Amino acid sequence: MAKRVMLDGNEAASEALRLARIKVVSAYPVTPQTPISEKLADYVADGSLQAKYIRVESEHTAMAAAIGAQLTGVRAATATSSIGLALMHEICGAAAGLRIPIVMPVVNRSLAAPWSLWCDHQDAMVERDQGWMQLYAENCQEVLDLILIAYRTTEQNDVLLPVMVCLDGFFLSHTTEAIMLPEQAEVDAYLPPYINKNLRLDPDDPMFINALCPTSEFSEMRYQQQIGMKNAMRALPASMAEFAAQFGRSYDLIEAYRTDDAEAVLIGLGTMCGTMKYVVDKYRAAGRKVGMVKILSYRPFPVERLCAALENVPNIGVLDRSAGLGNIGGPVCTDVRAALSTYLPGRSASSFLAGLAGRDITPGTVSRAFDLLLAGEKFSKTFWMDTNTDAALTMRTAPATSAGQKEVL
Amino acid sequence: MSCEDVKTYLGPCSLHFASVKTGAWRVVRPHTDSSLCVLCGICEKYCPVDAITVRGRKDEAPGLSLALDFCKGCGICANVCPKDAVKMISEREAQNG
């Protein structure tokens, strides 16, 4: 029987990795992921996790060691956040290109500069096109469940893509919730032992991995990865259905919440979705027809599912938690617009931005976005919500110089 | 390779080892002055292709042996030698005399 326990998001991630019977951990601490590194070290020390813990000197090596370990035929785990993920960037590409089904919790935190410890999605957005699957959790239960679902999905031989399971820093990583913790036997029934049938390291049967690839084959290797993404789009819902049968909790690529007759719908990732649902319920109780769509799987991006959910919605908005600098919409909004213009010609979405570096996305924030959408306002260029744009350009006034001049930067 | 269970691999890998003899790249090679060498084995440890073997630890005659099929002539052995016993000499010179 599963137990109902109090866990924060980092503990839920650590429990999921332990339940997946990882055999190697190579992790480097970085706020707010650090408790995952520590928890896994505790498990190894107390014997509740039979694994080798490699104390690496950086995230770059954490991923490199995880790749090497997993190539020998075991599940190898690491986890990171923000600048740690940025330092890991190069090797993330290797994991994807070598088709290594590593599942990595990413505790979302903004990237420097300005220096910050708090949540936004820019760290993961930077990795968006690296060939990793990206799943976003709304609550601590989803952190645990999505990690198990990720293993089940990606270890299929026609998928083989590394997976980031993204959880909002502090809002999930350090917030305790009551969650159902499955028993090892239940997880074993869902998640069979890992058998590596692809690239492998075996001294008795050598293989040269990741040599220089000629131009004549590179596009084909990339195309293989795209087919993996396509297969993941089919395999992920199947794994979620099997998960529901085993554990009784249902998931899907997207969650469309009260969208059927909605006049305005907001789309989001991660914890903001809980706030959106709360506001949707309040608006519905007041007779105002709004809904929301949570994107669980951001890569692969469930374009057709998303457009089917939005087909009859006149006002669509996307709330991005990263800036997408230099464009007219945040990254999620840009993807949604591309999907809409392809499948529902003539339709677009308004771009909202909020919640950078841990700034709360409050019910007030979400309400303002709904009010603007219901009033028929369109934001083709990003609307920076909760941002003091008037003061932004005069925030730092330089002190008077010796010549008595005052410069305003 | 003998992996009958898989027909094709996904991702960049090579299964035929036609050009692994990296000795063909070499333009200089290490030359050891046996009067200076103390058989410490540091060069053996550092050699990136494991081309150096220290002899004389058991009943063999002491000295270094070099796997010329694999030595790339990178010079790490000469750099790490604490006794300056290893010098890099030109390949042409070595082959001619």
Within-domain flag for B14? no
Helix (H, G, I), strand (E, B) or coil at A131: coil
Q: Mind listing the domains of chain A with CATH numbers?
A: 3-194+213-247 (3.40.50.970), 254-387 (3.40.50.920)
- Residue A398: its pLDDT value, please? 82
**A246-280: pLDDT as tens digits:** 999 999 999 999 999 999 999 999 999 999 999 99
Measure B2 CA to nearest chain A CA, in Å: 7
The ipTM, to two decimals, is 0.83
Within-domain flag for B9? no
What mean pLDDT do residues A154-183 have?
A: 98
CA separation, residue A198 to residues A152, A192, A195 (Å): 16, 17, 9
Are the CB atoms for A199 and A71 separated by under 8 Å?
A: yes
Within-domain flag for B1? no
**A296-305: pLDDT as tens digits:** 999 999 999 9
Strand arrangement of the beta sheet that strand A315-320 belongs to: A254-257, A290-295, A264-268, A315-320, A350-353, A383-384
- What is the residue whose two structure tokens read 């820019």? A122
Are the CB atoms for A105 and A79 separated by under 8 Å?
A: yes
Q: How far apart are CA A32 and CA A328, in angstroms?
A: 30
Within-domain flag for B2? no
Number of H helices, E strands in chain B: 3, 5
Is B17 close to A99, i.e. CB distance below 8 A?
no
Report the CATH number that the domain containing residue B84 is assigned in CATH: 3.30.70.20
Residue A27: which of A142, A94, A105 has the closest Cα?
Answer: A105
Strands A315-320 and A350-353, sheet pairing: parallel
Q: How far apart are CA A237 and CA A241, in angstroms?
A: 6
Number of domains into which chain B is organized:
1
pLDDT averaged over chain A?
A: 96
Is B14 close to A197, i.e. CB distance below 8 A?
no
Domain containing B26 equals 22-96
Strand runs (DSSP E) across A280-342, as ranges? 290-295, 297-299, 315-320
Is A207 close to B13, i.e. CB distance below 8 A?
yes
Measure A102 CA to nearest chain B CA, in Å: 15
The one-letter code for the residue type at B84 is D
Backbone φ and ψ of A224, nearest 5°: -55, -45
Within-domain flag for B45? yes
Within-domain flag for B3? no
Is A205 close to B17, i.e. CB distance below 8 A?
no
Within-domain flag for B61? yes
Nearest residue of A to residue B9, measured between CA atoms:
A198
**A61-98: pLDDT as tens digits:** 999 999 999 999 999 999 999 999 999 999 999 999 99
Chain A residues whose CB is inside 8 A of the B11 CB are: 97-99, 198-199, 209-210, 221, 224
Are the CB atoms for A152 and A94 separated by under 8 Å?
A: no
